[in-house]
């Protein structure tokens, strides 16, 4: 799949338009929501402190345990439940990456399950695994096992990255591994470092079914109408 195989509106329908900078203001969030509506993207991804906020026709996505994932599972669960009660449609939670590196997969499973049980079955739950860090500090099998355990615990998506880890963001290889590791019912969200249409198209071809973008306009402008 190449850029020429994809149309702008089809790619926009896969995009979580993202604003997660620590210094972001409510005015910034409102501007992001307005831009999301203009671009016709699927969702707006914000920090939980921005809630409650009206995202209009776009779904509301909120991060949990962000960005380190080192929060206690019960804290993540409470944060996720509060976000849903405040209007979030989707939750993007960060796992304990250290537990994954040490192959403590049961702990990853329990972490995800605790959040899933807190938000119920109807909420879309995306599980951020920091794929670049796992590939750097562990190996491909570890990344695959983490994703498989997340799926069994109730993940709706497995997601590559927070975009804040020094190891980096999404890669084509990570998406390929993640896609192969989870059932078809589970999506793969690629995020972190996606700045142009060509890379976005490569990630979609590799199996990404959602894209997390902070520079959505620049990426979408690379696709034909």
Neighbours of 91 (CB within 10 A): 27
Annotated catalytic residue, options 16, 76, 126, 159: 159
Q: For residue 64, what are the β-bridge partners?
A: 93
Work out the end-to-end distance of the chain between its first and last CA atoms, rounded to an integer number of angstroms: 17
Q: For residue 17, what are the β-bridge partners?
A: 44, 213
Contact 89, 82 (CB under 8 A): no
Annotated catalytic residue, options 92, 96, 111, 126: 92
Question: How far is Cα 121 from Cα 211, in angstroms, rounded to an integer?
Answer: 22
159 counts as catalytic: yes
Question: How far is Cα 84 from Cα 188, in angstroms, rounded to an integer?
Answer: 22
**Helix-helix angle 73-85:105-119, to 10 degrees:** 30
Contact 6, 223 (CB under 8 A): yes
For residue 57, give both structure tokens.
């026709």
Annotated catalytic residue, options 16, 76, 111, 189: 189
Question: How far is Cα 222 from Cα 201, in angstroms, rounded to an integer?
Answer: 10
Active site residues: 92, 159, 189
């Amino acid at each position: 799949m190449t850029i020429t195989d994809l149309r702008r509106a089809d790619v926009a329908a896969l995009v979580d338009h993202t604003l997660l900078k620590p210094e972001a203001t409510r005015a910034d969030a409102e501007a992001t929501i307005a831009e999301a509506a203009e671009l016709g993207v699927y969702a707006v991804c914000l920090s939980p402190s921005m809630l409650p906020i009206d995202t209009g026709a776009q779904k509301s996505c909120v991060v949990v345990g962000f960005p380190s994932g080192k929060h206690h599972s019960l804290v993540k669960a409470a944060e996720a439940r509060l976000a849903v009660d405040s209007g979030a449609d989707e939750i993007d939670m960060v796992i304990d990456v250290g537990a994954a590196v040490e192959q403590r997969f049961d702990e990853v499973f329990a972490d995800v399950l605790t959040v899933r049980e807190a938000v119920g079955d109807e909420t879309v739950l995306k599980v951020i695994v920091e794929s670049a860090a796992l590939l750097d500090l562990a190996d491909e099998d570890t990344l695959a096992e983490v994703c498989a355990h997340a799926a069994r615990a109730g993940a709706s998506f497995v997601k590559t990255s927070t975009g804040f880890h020094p190891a980096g963001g999404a890669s084509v290889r990570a998406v390929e591994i993640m896609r192969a590791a989870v059932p078809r019912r589970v999506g793969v969200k690629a995020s972190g470092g996606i700045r142009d249409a060509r890379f976005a198209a490569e990630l979609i071809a590799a199996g990404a079914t959602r894209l997390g973008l902070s520079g959505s306009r620049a990426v979408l402008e690379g696709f034909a109408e």
